[in-house]
Amino acid sequence: MRAVILASTLATLYLASFARAQNVVRDVIVAFGDRYRVSAVNTSLMLIPEGSFATRKPARALTEDEKLSRCDEFVALALKTQGLPDPGDVRLVRDRVEPRPEERRWVLYSQRHQGYRILGAGGRIELDAYGRVLFAGVNYETEKLRAFRAMDSAALGKRAASVVRQRRVGPSVSQELMIDPLGDAPAELRAYVIYQVRARNRLEGWQVTLDAETGRVIDSSSLFMHADSPQGGTLRSEELDRPRAR
């Protein structure tokens, strides 16, 4: 099973992939008056501005809503460079915004089917204080996905709890259904359930992965994610957003 590409490492993975790739297709697009160099490898895109923004400021300050709206338009334009319709089978949905130093922010996107996130498919756009795109990395899934029918959430949780091999501390702290495209194999809908467990005299995260349609256990293992203190507490939010598969 391929490893899950996580939103928190998308930019690094894009840069590494493009550095190694031999079949890179390059193009240039213009968005909101700025030129961007587009590099495409298979179903991955990277867009970087040409020149510098340092000496040119926008005519007026944009509102936060305008900045995010422009970001949405930028993502749609990036997909269109690959001949992908918008709206269409490939469409990225804005998930959240994460602040960065110097009034910058990451705007994170995911690709969904039936409302479920698709593992490894999404985007990360870096905006400056003026709402200009400093970097964009997009990875999308083109497989024609079938309709999935998940088991009852409580039944999946009960099955997951039964295979945790350490002492659980309370109920699950995270449970999400996501689609794993599985490379050349047909995609599956999977449940990722995370618990806090007591192991080695500290709190750790434990993840159980199940086939969400049948309840079959695919993996049950420690995430080696520690709580904020050995005495207790809860897992940090960035740790809960890291489901993995094997």
Please indicate, yes or no, if residue 105 is contained in any of the structural domains.
yes
Residue type, 111: Q
How many C-beta atoms surround the C-beta of residue 198 within 10 A?
13
> Is 176 inside any structural domain?
yes
User: Tens digits of per-residue pLDDT, 148-195?
Assistant: 999 999 999 999 999 998 999 999 999 999 999 998 899 999 999 999
Q: Does residue 17 register a pLDDT over 50?
A: no
**Same domain? 129 vs 158:** no
**Per-residue tokens: 233:** 């507490």
Percent of the chain whose pLDDT exceeds 70: 78
The answer to whether position 206 is within a domain reads yes
CATH code at 213? 3.10.450
Dump the DSSP string for 7-22. GGGHHHHHHHHHHH-S
Number of domains within the chain: 2
Same-domain status, 79 and 179: no
**Six-digit token pair at 181?**
């495209």
Are 45 and 119 in a shared domain?
yes
Same-domain pairing of 106 and 198: no
Is there a single domain that holds both residue 72 and residue 21? yes
pLDDT of residue 244: 55
Q: Single out the residue in 90, 110, 139 at which a domain terminates.
A: 139
* Tens-digit pLDDT profile for residues 126-160: 999 999 999 999 999 988 899 999 999 999 999 99
Tokens describing residue 85 = 């319709």
pLDDT above 90 as % of the chain: 54
Same domain, 119 and 235: no
Fill in the amino acid letter for 86: D
Lowest mean pLDDT among 55-59, 122-126, 159-163, 206-210: 55-59
- Provide the whole-model pTM: 0.76
Residues 11 and 122 reside in one and the same domain:
yes
User: Is residue 31 in a domain?
Assistant: yes
| Domain assignment of residue 15, given as a range | 7-139
Q: Is residue 53 part of a domain?
A: yes
Question: 124 and 182: one domain?
Answer: no
The encoded tokens of residue 212 equal 């969400």
CB under 8 A, 24+ apart: contacts of 164-167: 164/195, 164/197, 164/206, 164/208, 164/220, 165/206, 165/220, 166/197, 166/198, 166/199, 166/204, 166/206, 166/222, 167/197, 167/198, 167/199
What's the pLDDT at 229? 38
**pLDDT confidence of residue 55:** 67
Mean pLDDT throughout 196-220?
93
Closest CA to 225 of 173, 156, 170: 173
Question: Domain boundary residue among 106, 139, 172?
Answer: 139
Is 201 in the same domain as 83? no
Q: Is residue 230 in some structural domain?
A: yes
Q: What single letter denotes the amino acid at residue 133?
A: V
pLDDT per position as a tens digit, 61-100: 889 999 999 999 999 998 888 877 544 467 899 999 999 9
> Which pLDDT value is given to residue 33?
85
Q: Is the pLDDT of residue 246 over 90?
A: no
Contact 188, 178 (CB under 8 A): no
Q: Does residue 1 sit within a domain?
A: no
Q: Which is more confidently placed, 231 or 24?
A: 24
Residue 125, strand partner residues: 107, 136
Per-residue pLDDT, 201? 83
Q: Answer with the residue of higher pLDDT: 88 or 58.
A: 58
Residue 70, domain member (yes or no): yes
Here the tokens at position 45 are: 């895109």
Among 86, 117, 139, the domain boundary falls at 139
The conformation of residue 229, written as its DSSP 8-state character, comes to B
